[in-house]
Amino acid sequence: MLELRGGFNVLTGETGAGKSMIIDALSLVLGGRARADLVRAGAREAEVEALFEIPAGSRVLAKLEAAGIPFDATGGSGVALVIRRVLQADGGEASSKAAGGGSLRTRAYLNGRLGTAAQLAELAPDLCDIASQHESVSLTDPTTHVEYLDAFGKLDALRDTLAEEVDALASVVKSLEAVRESERGRAEREDFVAFQLRELDELGPEPGEETLLEQERARLRHAERLTQATSAAAERLYEGEGAICDELGRLAADVDSAASLDGSLAPLARQIESARSELSDAARALARYAEGVDLNPQRLSEIEDRLFRLQKLLRKYGPTTSELLVHRDSLRHELESLEGSTVRAAELERDRDQRLGKVGARARTLSQRRRQAAEKLADAVGRELAQLGMGRARVVVEVAPTAPNGVVDTSLQIDGARLTRTGIDRVEFLIAPNKGEEPRPMRRIASGGELSRALLALKRVLAEKGPAGLYVFDEVDAGVGGAIAEVIGRSIADVARHRQVLCITHLPQIAALADGHHVVGKSEVRGRTLTTVRPLSEKERIEEVARMIGGVKVGDAARRAAEEMLAGRK
């Protein structure tokens, strides 16, 4: 296990001892590509685990929360993040896989929860930055350069305000596009809705009207039969000779007369009289009905026509008149909305133009200040490189307009540049390591030593401003020695005042300046080679620095020089 202290840590060891394994392990937990040869021959799997202490307010916490990754407080103001990466041979012995470069199955765990390599890669820039010939997680990635430049120029607040305004503008533009999309079919839809509404308004249906019309149509269709039936019934009950009501009247009188002899018959006499009275009322009602039956062919035709039109609408929008009325109200509301879409589009266009003017002014101001800060940053990094033995190097912080990338909506462009949440600029750090060369992106610098020193210069200038927690320098001492080596070491120590730093070095001048010193070594156990890493005591540090000075055979002179170097760091 390798446990780093705060500040400046160095890792030393003889060539081939396995120092590069530390870089491989860190790269792996940060989402790097897994290789079959990382699994030890004869083993089925390899595992790497790293513990990061995340300070409160870090962007890592927001990313973990968004991904649903649990985290607990470390006891201070931050939280702990444990990342574990497991590499497992995909069938068979790992030895054969490693030899043939076979594929692996990998699993990633974040605080015990299964994650993905993509999640690790997203967290990596805020956790660690590795600078070596082959690896750089952050500073060689151009997408991070705008943040470093803004941090150097103290433009973060201006950029964050612009991001909020761009989000608001994008929301208005999205709403306007939706209104315009509906506007394209508005005229056709408006005509269709208006036609349906006219159909309903011209007919003017009433609730339950279909039932009433069907009843009236039935009466008109059978008027003659109804007249005959009701008039005959009225005559038989009341009006004709021997009418039923007359007979009941005589019967009631006879029973009433008998009731004088037996009082128990009185209620029956009253029942007969009551029946006669009710039948008389029914007869008169039937007579009125017969007289009121309308033999009106024209009215029947009108009802037939209205029912036909009503039933046609019921088939389209029904099946009841109540639903017709609900649909009519819905059509009226939609028509009003369609008629108001032009007004809404005009309002959104005015809002967009106002916001675009405000955002454009702020984006231009930010771009201008970035260009000013870019010159100062390039000069500062250039001075640092001169002290690191790269006096002929030229640094350029390029601030160029963002490419439109197919964006045709001028609402998302400012002066022809694509508007993003970070503004209208594309920022990239360029460097020409030697005089006469054209500046190139940092990721294209071939020399590992040059790249490491260029990144060191940037990190020293941006030591208080970069987002990464751990800085790793590998091969930063390639091709240098003497006074330049000490300058490089003191530059790393200066960075380490603001960041935790791990430096893999072969130079005693650098190793002697560290706060913590670990050594990597190899040993044989039961015929197998093992690589170990361990921290050194002050006494052991003298021996290791002396070895780095004098080689395999360490003499008294080398020890005295080592003691002087270690004493000089304080």
257 is a domain residue? yes
Comparing 89-93, 154-158, 309-313, 437-441, the range with the smallest average pLDDT is 89-93
Comparing 69-78, 108-117, 259-268, 391-400, the range with the smallest average pLDDT is 69-78
96 is a domain residue? no
119 is a domain residue? no
Q: Is 254 helix (H, G, I), strand (E, B) or coil?
A: helix
Residue 273 has pLDDT above 80, yes or no: yes
User: Which tens digit of pLDDT belongs to each residue from 100-151?
Assistant: 455 678 899 999 899 888 888 888 878 888 776 555 556 677 888 898 899 8
DSSP string, 413-455: EETTEEPBTTBSEEEEEEEESSTTPPPEEGGG---HHHHHHHH
Q: Which residue has the higher pLDDT, 167 or 442?
A: 167
Comparing 173-177, 419-423, 476-480, the range with the smallest average pLDDT is 476-480
- Gap between the Cα atoms of 221 and 112, Å rounded: 84
Closest CA to 91 of 39, 32, 136: 39
Average pLDDT over the chain, rounded to whole? 81
377 is a domain residue? no
- Domain with 278 in it: 209-319
479 is a domain residue? no
What are the residue ranges of helices labelled H in 83-236?
Answer: 94-100, 117-127, 145-152, 156-184, 186-203, 209-221, 223-234
Domain count, the chain: 1
495 is a domain residue? no
529 is a domain residue? no
Q: Is 6 helix (H, G, I), strand (E, B) or coil?
A: coil
Which residue matches tokens 């361990």?
534
Q: Which residue has the higher pLDDT, 245 or 363?
A: 363
- Gap between the Cα atoms of 236 and 229, Å rounded: 11
410 is a domain residue? no
The separation between CA 306 and the C-alpha centre of its own chain, rounded to angstroms, equals 57
DSSP string, 152-167: HTT-HHHHHHHHHHHH
One-letter amino acid at 71 equals: F
Q: Which residue has the higher pLDDT, 53 or 129?
A: 53
Question: What is the chain's length?
Answer: 570
Q: Is 529 helix (H, G, I), strand (E, B) or coil?
A: strand
CA torsion sign for 35, 38, 41, 43 is negative
User: Which tens digit of pLDDT belongs to each residue from 415-450?
Assistant: 889 999 999 999 999 988 888 888 888 777 656 667
- Gap between the Cα atoms of 398 and 418, Å rounded: 17
User: Which tens digit of pLDDT belongs to each residue from 17-48?
Assistant: 677 788 888 888 888 888 877 888 778 888 99
Contact in structure between 48 and 84 (CB atoms under 8 Å):
yes
**Residue 109: both structure tokens together:** 């765990």
- The pLDDT, as a whole number, for residue 531 is 84
Q: Which residues make Cβ contacts (< 8 Å) with residue 557, sequence separation at least 6?
A: 550
User: Which tens digit of pLDDT belongs to each residue from 507-562?
Assistant: 899 999 999 999 998 888 777 778 889 999 999 999 999 998 887 677 888 889 88
**Residue 9: both structure tokens together:** 């840590």
Residue 98 has pLDDT above 50, yes or no: no
Contact in structure between 49 and 28 (CB atoms under 8 Å):
no
Phi, psi at residue 85, to the nearest 5°?
A: -120, 125
Q: pTM here?
A: 0.60
